[in-house]
Amino acid sequence: MTNPRELLARLNPTTIRYDVGRGGVGALSNQDIAAALAFVPAGLGREVLEACWWPDGAARRSHKLRDAVYMHVQPEIARQAKELSEARIHRGMLHACAGWANNPGAGLLRELAAAEAKVEAIKARCWPVSAFEMLPAMSKAVIDELAHPNQCPDCKGRGQLRAGELVVTCPTCGGRGTLAISDRKRAAAIGRDKATYRVVWRPMYEWMIREFGDAEQEAARHLSAALRDAA
C-alpha cells in the first residue's frame, strides 16, 4: 500500500483532485482517508501524525497536540524528580550516619562518595527546571524534524543499495534512510546556542524525538490498517 502518511497529506489544500476513483488505493476518497483517521487512537501519536502530514487540520486543533505533549512529558519529569529526590535522601542518611559515628569507617566513606557521585550523575541526566517552558519550541522543532528528515543522499531514504544482483544495507546511514541532524541545527531550531544545547537541552530533545517518532509510527500503523479495511 502507498505510505499512509502520503495519503493523509492529501487532506491538505491542493488544486489537484485526488478523489477521483482509479481503482485500488487510488479509489480512496479524501472522505475515506479522514474517516480512517478516526480509527487512530487519540493521543500523542495521532497528534504528531497530523502535525507532520496534515498541518492544515492540526492547526485547527493545536490544543489537542499541546495537551497530548504535556500528558506524555509530565510522567517523565515526575520520574526524574522522584529518582533525584530518592538519591538525595539516601545521601543525606549516609551523611547523618557519618556524623553520628565518632570515626566513620572506610566502608561508610566509600558509600558516601558513591552516593554523592550518584546524585551528580542523576542531576546531569535530569531536564532543567524550565523544561515545561521550553515545550512549545522543543515540540515544534521535533515535529519539523520528523516531517522533514535528513534523507541519506546515497540511498535516497531507502536504507538499501543495489550492488550488482545483491541488495545491501546502505553503509552511509546504516539502513535508517536518514542521517542525524547536527547539534548546531537542533540548537538553532529551539533558539539556543550549540554549547547550551549540548550541556542543557540535548537529553530532553533526544528523548522527545524518540518518543514522538515511536508514537507517530504506531499511529501510522493504525491508519494503514484502517485504510486497508476501507479500500
Q: In this predicted model, what pLDDT tens digit does every residue of 54-95 receive, in sequence order?
A: 888 888 888 999 999 999 999 999 999 999 999 999 999 999
Same domain, 111 and 149: no
Residues 103 and 143 in one domain: no
Domain match, 135 and 204 both: yes
| pTM for the full predicted model | 0.81
Specify which residues 167 forms β-bridges with.
Answer: 162
Torsion from C-alpha of 121, 126, 127, 132, nearest 10 degrees = -160
Q: Are residues 79 and 102 in the same domain?
A: yes
User: What total of structural domains would you count in the chain?
Assistant: 2
Let me know if residue 53 belongs to a domain. no
Asked if residue 18 has pLDDT above 50, the reply is: no
| HEC readout, the chain | CCCHHHHHHCCCCCCCCCCCCCCHHHHCCHHHHHHHHCCCCCCHHHHHHHHHHCHHHHHCCHHHHHHHHHHHHHHHHHHHHHHHHHHHHHHHHHHHHHHHCCCCCHHHHHHHHHHHHHHHHHHHHCCCCCHHHHHHHHHHHHHHHHHCCCECCCCCCCCEEEECCEEEECCCCCCCCECCCCHHHHHHHCCCCHHHHHHHHHHHHHHHHHHHHHHHHHHHHHHHHHHHHHC
**Is residue 137 located within the same domain as residue 200?**
yes
Q: Are residues 151 and 177 in the same domain?
A: yes
* Band of pLDDT at residue 226, cut at 50, 70 and 90: confident
190, part of any domain: yes
Position 17 in a domain = no
Residues 149 and 191 in one domain: yes
**135 and 198 housed in the same domain:** yes
Give the range of the structural domain holding residue 86, as residue numbers without chain letter.
Answer: 73-125
Domain presence at residue 120: yes
- Give the pLDDT confidence score for residue 2 in this predicted structure: 59
With 90 as the cut, is the pLDDT of residue 9 above it? no
Asked if residue 224 is part of any domain, the answer here is: no
Tell me the pLDDT tens digit for each residue of 89-126: 999 999 999 988 878 899 999 999 999 999 999 999 99
104 & 141 share domain = no
